[in-house]
Structure 1
Amino acid sequence: MVKYSITRVLRKSCKLKAILFRSQTDTEVLLQLFIKEGKECLQKLNGFFSFAIWDTQDKSLFIARDRIGIKPLYYMMDNDRLLFGSEMKAIEAYGIEKELDYTSLNTYLQLNYIPAPRTIFKSVKKLMPGHYIEVTPERFYIKAYYDIPTPDKNNSTKSYEEQKTELSQLLEGSVQKRLMADVPLGSFLSGGIDSSVVATLAARHKPDLHTFSIGYKDEKFFDESDYARLVAKKIGTDHTVFSLTNQQMYAHLHDILDYMDEPFADSSAIAVYVLSQETRKHATVALSGDGADELFAGYNKHAAFFKIIEGGQKAEWVKNLGPVWGLMPKSRNNKLTNLFRQLHRFSEGMKLNSRERYWRWAGFATENQVSKLLTPESRQKIDQEEYLTFKNSILQHLPDQESINDILYTDVKLVLPDDMLTKVDRMSMANSLEVRVPFLDHEVVEFAFSIPPSSKINKDIRKRILQDTFKGILPEELYNRPKKGI
């Protein structure tokens, strides 16, 4: 279903204003738009969705998934049936053959998730973001209807100040669209820049906004709830912090497994599950800051790519000391061991070409490490040619000399839909909470890829344009804090 009532705007459009609607539902508007425009209706939809429409007249079926992959769509087709649903459970209920896909298993053990279009079962696939399926009595085919337009050269004709103005206008407009709701609506507020920007813009248009964050009593290194409180105080929201111990977090682990249709090992899913569960007690819809890191270069790996692309003695020095970093204790649990971990990953990545470097930094285990985890029988079942073809299809947009925008484009195609958005969708829907993502309005996404890398990252700052654009409305304490990631 198309969400957050963007269909209220479509209902008043020239194409549909003459129609006498029998309900106030998004579904009816979507149906009428499809009747009027067919598959071209997809170009009018600004939001997240997966839907199917059966045409009784020509006996055809149309299935589509949103541009960025915020909502999931699984399907399976054999000789006499097509099964589909937003969860794999819906397909499994029909007694399908559950033959393990060892290429997917091999990929999962490296990345900790399984990229589309594959799943853990050979017979079941995921529909790719920005694609649709059309089934007629004569044929079945899948086609892309959207891709992120990227300029050949990242040389924007707009000044940096003009870019900041455009980002501010686009993002505020996106937030406004996503405030449309007939149910209680709030906003996640982690204390980071992204969710703070979203919450601040939302509070401008919703004075009674309720914000929510999660705190970690036993993991102060990762606890950013104090920053969230600073933002909430500045923008005047009714703020709730759910502060949990590790034991309280682990208590939800078995509940979470019920909602994992296939192997998925992003440990932050536990926190998202608890946050969604607690938020649902106060709101039915929540805004989030997801997507900003992938669009505007917010991760430590983006800073690492920038250092390699720019070159210099410092990068070479870190590379040459690779054996030293390999001997040091490595852990995310404190600043020093986390630094050793990052230096070791960086030195290892510098030895690789652009595609292999991206694959290494996108994952948690190397191909050799995974091979040691598998039995000889399992290793023999991996079709190496198939695996390499799949891997190369994921990395196809990375040239030999990559730019930051090449890295971000691949992130938006891989990490964002298959890890980040999958995590949020599964954990929020497990608690009947709808999460909306203003940064992934396709107009914001297209803007992000129309500006040069220099607007996003330099040697001193990540998410440069995002931080600069909204610096005047956020607490100073939010800036220049270390990112607690890979």
Structure 2
Amino acid sequence: MCGLLFTNNPQVDLNKFRIALNQFYYRGPNYSEVKKINSALLGHNRLSIQDLSLAGKQPFLSSSGRFIIVFNGEIYNFRELAITHNIALKTGCDTELLIELYEKQGKNMLQELNGMFAFVIYDLKKNRYFSARDRLGIKPLYFFENNGFITYSSEVNGLKSLFNIEEVNEWAIRQYKKVRMFFDGHTIYKNIRMFPAGHYDDNGDIKEYWSLPYAKNKQPPTDQELSDLILSAVTYRRIADVSLGSYLSGGIDSSIIAILAQEPDTWTIGFSDDNEFFWSDLVAIKTGSIHTKILVSYDEFINTAKDMISIRQEPLSVPNEVLLYLMTKEVSKKNKVVLSGEGADELFFGYDRIFSWAMESINFDMEQFDNLYSYGKHKDYAVLEALIEPFNKKNYNCEDIVSHFFQIRHLHGLLRRLDNSTMRCGVEARVPFVDHRLVERMAGVSGTYKMANGIIKAPLKRIYKHILPKEVVDRKKIGFPVDLDKIFKQGNDYDTWLNFNLKVLGI
């Protein structure tokens, strides 16, 4: 939806603050504003999705005049919450609901929100702030602390610009080289942190308000219950005052969403000699959509990757992040919101080799996990141990550890990739499979249900086989294809990709 910047540091220069906000202007090209209130600065770049008028511009002041908010994301159930809590909305935007509900309920409102969000609310009366991030970390929020003050930003480049941060985080680089992502709040810069998902910060008091529930061998949902949940998640994510489209790779996840959503535009991308156009065409015929197929050259891929890394001042996670960006550039010419299939693989055991191993094993074996998960050649087990440690200490068995790892750690990396690629184009990506109700329902459900008879995503294939092309249901899963050998001419070596990213950053 947008990009935000906030600081309660009175020493921050207003002009430098404006420059920092402009570092990620692309997140909200429709409107930008900075307000100085007491000792705080609040900045916002708006991508208009709900209520396109200036009534929805931010920073947004509460009706009482006591609270002001900068907010990035969407609250899908904002109209229901307004009715439930007797809030008379003067605008058609969820920002108003969020700040009015906070004035009524404080932090307790977080439990009622269905959506993706990162926001900071400032109390003009008490000179205090309250910030929060959604349960699964769909929307980003970074922070920098110095001299007892805090600054929040939607992107790393805003903080890097504002505070001239250059010192590299060596532990984060080790994380990146081993598992192509950062975790535990680390970023590539030593003093810039990612605010944790499912947490709030009440003026310096950071606490968790949500964690993935766990119940051993929980009863699986009925087919009707599961299909109702998925349809509800898709329906919520179609709420907008702008045109929507759907990514459509031809895999089962994006195909289910495209068919349920029935949006008029669908999109896919690939190289002339490496793409998934055959399968996406089959689904597009079913939906009756205007299906756009985008071709990319290898030179365009390399040049775009360099540009993305330089602007974001962060390395890219995986090569297909570049394809997501290039596809979304085309999407932005017609749609301001796009539906995407992230989350289904993690919830329904879509990675056959690693989930098969996890189900067949009792005890977790780090070396085997490394062989199945890691791409690079770095044998840095300290990184893997830190990655797995939160789940290991709960005395989970191998299946539980791997399942929770993918739903918390791996999924978070995919969501960062998606947000980075789409918001760079001024397009909001929505992920129905990451609706917290669906995630909670599937947590603790046995792999024998999710991968029945060795079939990945078995429940999805069973429930939706009557509306999906048979070729898509029977298709073997493949990742978003990017052949590094053809791009770098150095062999299909993942370390080449990692080192390319760090070299562009001068690291």
Whether TM exceeds 0.5 here: the answer is yes
- Residue type of the alignment partner of 2:335: A
Residue 451 of structure 1 deviates from its aligned partner by: 2.6
Could you tell me which runs of 5 or more consecutive residues in structure 2 were left unpaired when the two chains were aligned. 1-71, 481-507
User: What is the identity, as a one-letter code, of the residue corresponding to 1:274?
Assistant: L
Of 401, 408, 421, which residue of structure 1 is paired with 2:397?
401
> Once the two structures are aligned, what percentage of the paired residues are identical?
31
| Partner of residue 268, structure 2 | 213
2:106 & 2:396 partners in 1: Cα distance? 40
Q: How does 1:5-24 map to 2 (within 5 A)?
A: 5-13=76-84, 15-17=85-87, 19=88, 21-24=89-92
Query: Counterpart in 2 of 1:67?
Result: 135
Please say if 1:134 is aligned against 2:202.
yes
1:304 Cα deviation from its structure 2 partner = 3.9
Alpha carbons of structure 1 residues 132 and 393: separation in structure 2 relative to 1, 3 Å: farther
1:141-165 CA-to-partner distances (Å, cap 9, x unmatched) read 21111012111x2141x6xxx5211
1:21-60 superposed matches below 5 A: 21-60=89-128
Which residue is 2:374 aligned to?
363
User: What are the within-5 Å matches in structure 2 for residues 234-383 of structure 1?
Assistant: 234-306=286-358, 308-309=360-361, 353-365=364-376, 367-368=378-379
Q: Which amino acid is 1:202 matched to?
A: A
**Matches of 1:390 and 1:236, distance apart in 2:** 47
Partner of residue 429 from structure 2, selected from 416, 435, 438: 435
- Which of structures 1 and 2 has the larger relative contact order (alpha carbons within 8 angstroms, sep 6+)? 1
Aligned counterpart in structure 2 of residue 169 of structure 1, from 228, 242, 246: 228
What is the aligned length? Answer: 409
Deviations along 1:14-54, whole A, 9 cap, x unmatched?
x133x3x3322221110001001101111111010100001
Answer whether contact 1:186 1:287 (CA < 8 A) is retained.
Answer: yes
Evaluate the alpha carbon distance shift between residue 388 and residue 442 of structure 1 in structure 2; reply closer, same or farther with a 3 A threshold: closer
- The equivalent of 2:167 in structure 1 is 99
In structure 1, list runs of 5 or more residues that go unmatched.
311-351, 372-383
Measured in 2, the distance between the counterparts of 1:355 and 1:144 equals 28
Q: Residue 244 of structure 2: which of 160, 182, 185 is its match?
A: 185
**In 1, are the aligned partners of 2:157 and 2:312 still within 8 Å (CA)?**
no
Q: Secondary structure at the match of 1:113?
A: coil
Q: Distance in 1 between matches of 2:393 and 2:462?
A: 29
Match of 1:146 among 206, 210, 215: 210
**Structure 2 CA distance for partners of 1:281 and 1:410, relative to 1, 3 Å:** same
1:397–1:406 Cα contact (<8 Å) kept? no
Q: Which residue of 1 aligns with 2:505?
A: none
What is the rounded CA distance, in whole Å, between the counterparts of 1:410 and 1:291 in structure 2? 13
Matched position secondary structure for 2:294: strand
Shift of 1:216: 2.2
User: Which string of whole-angstrom CA distances, capped at 9 and with x for unpartnered residues, describes residues 188-241 of structure 1?
Assistant: 1110000000111111xx5xx21111132122xxx2111111011012122111
Scaled by the length of structure 1, the TM-score of the pair is 0.79
Mapped pair 1:413 → 2:408 = yes
Please tell me whether the aligned partners of residues 3 and 26 of structure 1 are also in contact (alpha carbons under 8 angstroms): yes
Within 2, Cα distance between the matches of 1:5 and 1:237?
A: 25
Structure 2 CA distance for aligned equivalents of residues 191 and 365 of structure 1 = 28
Deviation of 1:96 (Å): 4.2
The 3 A distance-change label for structure 1 pair 48 and 424 is same
Deviates more, 1:469-478 or 1:91-100: 91-100
More strand by percentage: 2
